[in-house]
Amino acid sequence: MSARLRLLTLTSAVAALAVLTGCEWLTFSNEAQTTMVPMTDLGRSTDSVYWLVIYITAGIFVVVQGMLMYAMWRFKETSPDDIPEQVHGNLQMEIGWTLLPVIILVVISVPTVKGIWAAQPDTAEMEAAGEVVTIKVVGKQWWFAFQYPDYDDIVIGNEIHVPAGKQVHLELHTGDVLHSFWIPRLGGKRDLIPGKVNHIWFKADMPPEGQDSITLLGQCAELCGDSHALMRMQAVVHTPEDFDRWVNGYKASAAQSSDPLAAAGQQTFLSAGCIACHSTDPTNAQAYLAPNLSHFGSRTHLAADRLDNTPENLSAWLHNPQALKPGATMPNLNLNDQQVEALVAYLHSLK
């Protein structure tokens, strides 16, 4: 490759990357997993430190590059014997380049430390007054469970629902190995550590004008085994009224379907052993063995956001979970087509 061609390739690659990353941010896609469009007080406090550091470093870049260019032009070598002025041990310069970084770091440390304190508010009083929505998060290989102690202990898999404008407190647990909970637009990536409880506090902004809720994406951010990359989740931020509506709808068990195929599926669900791990009671966490399926028919995704929750995908999952998610801890129960068809009808009737 000629030097010119190489340069052209490199510049177009950089330009393409800039356009691609820039576009996702600019289109402000709800689904973008970006920290650049924060939707909580926590997200904004981190974001403001981020931008402060970007502005300072951009300024340093411009000044240093400018001085370098100027020096290269102004002090161009004229004869091979030229030796530049020697400044070794210059006290003023030594003090200057020690003090300047100290000042910059102090400037950055002020909002950083403030942000760290703000991220761990003392909510004991609010909690006592019932003003905090606590949600227990449990990471498992390779899915998430969310339980709501303030709301009859309802539990849901892979889809966390939070009210906007209220103090939310996430209690982070793991059921097996180290995971990391991260919904970029809600702010704060935090590890789920065996034997320790971690916390995240935030207050989410209202969904966009005219919407009752907004759905964000998140995922496990700590390599946790075979299907780590397929351990994703959705977060739904509701207006307070819509959150209450969701809670009340979820608390009630799904209505019995009159479809005979769904009824057959319910029998299969009991006889094929599904019930040993999965519960269809919205308040039964069943020791977090498997995602709660009480309203599975209303869920848009399947197996920790691995697939859309369509009949075809669900059928493929029930036939062979490991084919879709390497190492999936749900066993392949060698179900026949009839059993799977009935199960799909049953599970999708649970709305």
Smallest gap from Cβ 256 to ligand HEC, in A, equals: 17
Structural contact between residues 171 and 135, judged by C-beta atoms closer than 8 angstroms: yes
Nearer to ligand HEC, 218 or 291 (CB): 291
**Binding-site residue total for ligand HEC (CB under 6 A)?**
29
| Site of tokens 């010119």 | 4
Give the one entry of Cu ion, ligand HEC, none that residue 190 binds, where binding means its C-beta sits below a cut-off of 5 to 8 angstroms depending on kind: none
- For residues 172-211, which are near Cu ion according to CB under 5 A? 179
- For residues 137-166, which are near ligand HEC according to CB under 6 A? 142-143, 157-158
| Site of tokens 């052993």 | 273
Cα–Cα distances in angstroms (integers) from residue 29 to residues 26, 33, 59, 185, in the given order: 8, 9, 30, 11
Site membership for ligand HEC, residue 343 (CB under 6 A): yes
β 143-148/132-140 pair status: antiparallel
> Near ligand HEC by CB under 6 A, which window of 87-95, 217-225, 241-249, 296-304?
296-304
Give the one entry of Cu ion, ligand HEC, none that residue 220 binds, where binding means its C-beta sits below a cut-off of 5 to 8 angstroms depending on kind: Cu ion
Cα–Cα distances in angstroms (integers) from residue 80 to residues 72, 83, 86, 176, in the given order: 15, 8, 17, 67
Give the one entry of ligand HEC, Cu ion, none that residue 274 binds, where binding means its C-beta sits below a cut-off of 5 to 8 angstroms depending on kind: ligand HEC
- For residues 187-246, which are near ligand HEC according to CB under 6 A? none
- Nearest-CB residue to ligand HEC? 274
Task: Give me the half-sphere count of Cα atoms (radius 13 Å) on the Cβ side of residue 35.
Answer: 15
What is the torsional sign of CA 182, 221, 154, 157? positive
Site membership for Cu ion, residue 220 (CB under 5 A): yes
- For residues 225-264, which are near Cu ion according to CB under 5 A? 231
Site membership for ligand HEC, residue 348 (CB under 6 A): no
